Amino acid sequence: MLDYYKRRAAVYERIYAKPERQADLRAIEAALPALFAGRSVLEVACGTGWWTPHGARDARRWLATDLNPETMDVARAKPMPACVEFRTADAWTFVEIGNETFDAAFAGHWWSHLALERVPAWLDALHARLEPGARVVLLDNRYVEGSSTPISRRDEHGNSYQLRSLDDGSRHEVLKNFPQRDEALALLGTRARAPQWTEYPHYWLLSYERS
């Protein structure tokens, strides 16, 4: 996965040029600032930073993290609000963050790349970096026939995979899950208070308070 996104960094944002997704993108970009206004936010797997300037617009502090320097280089080159800081960090351990804690977190297009059996452990690691009552916002793709890359197979845990090709001709099998509302809430369990699930034609957005 890391190698795939390293190779794809320069062309990653082609997915945001799909005509059928433009209305969704504008609606989500407009909704994000209010969710984080005045908050200290940990962004997980920021990638090329498509969502970062929107979420961070009214934030008090925004720490955008990723393990892949190639994608973060794309993000760093963009105009960003003054509150944004970038840092290389492992989204499974957050060890590079030290003892810092936050009152909000954001992850765009990260949940779908988590193996279902590993989601609870990742949530626990994330929540350990968050203050009680912190706002968490998760954003990801819905599967839409004709717009999404077809699913190539499923494994014994129910995870789905896609076969993707890059401009260099290489082909990569990528873990990509598309949870429904009830599936996502079941994985969150009692970790979340007051969850709110919003569906767009091509995306879903889940906001909740850390218990």
100-146 pLDDT tens trace: 999 999 999 999 999 999 999 999 999 999 999 999 999 999 999 99
Establish if 170 belongs to a structural domain: no
The CATH number of the domain where 47 resides is what? 3.40.50.150
What total number of domains does the chain contain?
Answer: 1
Instruction: Tell me the pTM.
Output: 0.94
Tokens linked to 69: 């320097």
Establish if 162 belongs to a structural domain: no
Instruction: Report pLDDT digits (tens) over 23-68.
Output: 999 999 999 999 999 999 999 999 999 999 999 999 999 999 999 8
Q: How confident is the model at residue 2 (pLDDT cuts 50, 70, 90)?
A: low
C-alpha–C-alpha distance, residues 96 and 194, integer Å? 30
Range of the domain at 79: 2-152+178-210
Establish if 106 belongs to a structural domain: yes
Q: Are strands 203-210 and 130-141 parallel, antiparallel or unpaired?
A: antiparallel
Establish if 167 belongs to a structural domain: no
C-alpha–C-alpha distance, residues 108 and 44, integer Å? 8
b vs e for 13-43, b when ≥16 Cβ sit within 10 Å of the residue's Cβ?
Answer: eeeeeeeebeebbeebeebbbebbeebbbbb
What residues contact 118, with CB distance under 8 A and at least 6 apart? Answer: none
